[in-house]
A and B are shown apart, each in its own frame.
Chain A
Amino acid sequence: MNGTQKAKKWFKPLFEFDETEPVKKIKKNIPKANESQKERVQVSSYQNNNTISNASCKSWIKNFDPVNVEDLAVHNKKVQEVEGWVKCACMSNFSDILLLSGPVGSGKTATVYTLATKHGIKVTEWITPLDIEMPSEYGDYQIRESQSKKFLDFIINAANFTSLLDNNNKKLVLVEDFPNVFLRTPTEFTDILLQYKHRAKSPIVFICSETHTDNKNSAFHLFTPALKEQFNISHITFNSISTTGLKCALKRAVDIISKKFTSMYNIPSPALVDSVVNSSGGDVRSAILNLHFASLKGSQMDMETSVIQEKEVKSNKSKRKKNPSSKFMSLGKDQTVSILHGVGRVLNPKTATSEDGKTHLTHSPKDVIEQFLSHPSSFISFLEENYLSHFSCPSDVEMAASALSDGDYMLAEWREKTCQEYGLYTAVAGLMVANKAPISAWNPVRGPKNMRIQYPSLKEMPQLDKDYLYKGKVLVADYSTYCKIIGHKIENSPSVLLID
Chain B
Amino acid sequence: MSLWVDKHRPKDLLKLDYHKDQAIRLKSLVQQSDFPHLLVYGPSGAGKKTRIMCLLRELYGSGAERLRQETMHFTTPSNKKIEIMTVSSNYHIEVNPTDVGIYDRVVIMDLVKNVAQTHQIDSSGQREFKVVILNEVDDLTKDAQHALRRTMEKYVATCRLILLANSISRVIPAIRSRCLTIRVPAPTEDEICSVLHTVCKKEGLSLPPELATRIAKISDRNLRRALLMCEACKVQQYPFKPDQKVPEPDWQLFIKETASMILSEQSPKKLSEVRQKLYELIIHGVPPDMIFAGLLKELVRNCDMAMKCQVASHAAMFEHRMRLGNKAIFHLEAFVAKFMAIYKKFVEESLGDAF
Contact = CB atoms under 8 A, between A and B. Distances in A.
**Size bin of chain B's contact surface:** 35 or more
A398 B343 CA distance: 12
A465 B49 CA distance: 14
A411 B87 contact: no
B236 interface: yes
B283 A454 contact: yes
Contacts of B283: 451-454
Contact of A486 (B69, B231, B248, B336): B231
A402 B235 contact: no
B344 to A, nearest CB: 6
Interface string A357-399: 0000000000000000000010001001000110111110110
B225 interface: yes
Interface string B316-354: 001001001111011101101110110011000000000
B2 interface: yes
Interface of A: 377, 381, 384, 388-389, 391-395, 397-398, 400-402, 404-409, 411-412, 449, 451-456, 463-469, 471-486, 489-490, 496, 499-500
B337 A473 contact: no
A454 B285 contact: yes
Nearest to B85: A469
Contacts of B171: none
29 contacts: A384-B327, A384-B333, A388-B271, A391-B268, A393-B268, A398-B338, A401-B336, A404-B334, A406-B321, A411-B326, A453-B284, A453-B285, A456-B284, A463-B1, A464-B6, A467-B67, A468-B67, A469-B135, A473-B285, A474-B44, A476-B286, A477-B225, A478-B44, A478-B45, A481-B247, A481-B248, A486-B3, A486-B231, A499-B238
Given A469-B86, A485-B236, A500 B1 contact: yes
A455 B286 CA distance: 9
Given A394-B267, A398-B340, A453-B285, A405 B325 contact: yes
Contacts of A464: 2-3, 6
Contacts of B135: 469, 471
A394 B235 contact: no
Given A397-B268, A449-B279, A466-B69, A478 B225 contact: yes
A462 to B, nearest CB: 9
Query: Which of A405, A407, A483, A486 gathers most chain B CB within 10 Å?
Result: A405
A302 B91 CA distance: 81
A82 B259 CA distance: 61
Contact of A478 (B85, B99, B224, B331): B224
A479 B5 CA distance: 10
Given A384-B330, A464-B6, A500-B1, A397 B69 contact: no
Nearest to A487: B235
Contact of B268 (A394, A454, A471): A394
A38 B186 CA distance: 92
B355 to A, nearest CB: 22
A461 to B, nearest CB: 9
A480 B266 CA distance: 32
